[in-house]
Amino acid sequence: MATTTATLTLSSADLLSDSLSVSATQTLYKAGTTTGLDGIQYERLEVPTGDVYDIVDATTAGANKANKVYIANKNTTETNYVDVYVAALNIGRLYAGDWMFIPLEAAAATQDVGVEAIGAAQHIEFALIHEGKTLVAS
């Protein structure tokens, strides 16, 4: 059984009047179980400007599944960014060096995840961590 763990740590000496240190760790499980996620699609690519490009196909993710999406903008020019879309709805913007990690409910085939490069072509990496396909012996 696969085991995948996500960890997020936030720390700052000067964001608040006191220093800040917060950490959260979560093991990624299949929906409604304690069995680890066992499928991954991972890619690095250059996204040209001008259109929204689908990077996660909702049919791969599957409805009622415990899908997690990671996207990172690897660009180093701070004025360039990537808009992120889920089901054609702009959900946010990743500037140079920014990343995101979100759950994805792919209830319909139209709920793909896409990105649009703004300012210049952007180098991104992304992963869909999901419930792998069940293989049936013939």
Burial class (CB in 10 A: 0-12, 13-18, 19+), 67: buried
Q: Please name the amino acid found at residue 61.
A: A
Cα dihedral sign, 43-97-102-86: negative
Q: What is the pLDDT of residue 45?
A: 95
Q: Which CATH architecture has domain 38-130?
A: Sandwich (2.60)
Burial of 78 (0-12, 13-18, 19+ CB in 10 A): exposed
pLDDT in tens, the chain (138 residues): 678 888 989 899 888 888 889 999 999 999 889 988 888 899 999 999 989 999 998 887 777 788 999 999 999 998 999 999 999 999 999 999 999 999 998 877 788 999 999 999 999 999 999 887 654 444
- What's the gap between Cα 101 and its chain centre? 5
Q: Any idea which residue has 């709805």 for tokens?
A: 89
* Max Cα-Cα span within the chain: 64
List all residues 6 or more positions away from 85 whose beta carbon is below 8 Å from its beta carbon.
Answer: 52, 91, 113, 114, 115, 116
At residue 1, the pLDDT reads 61
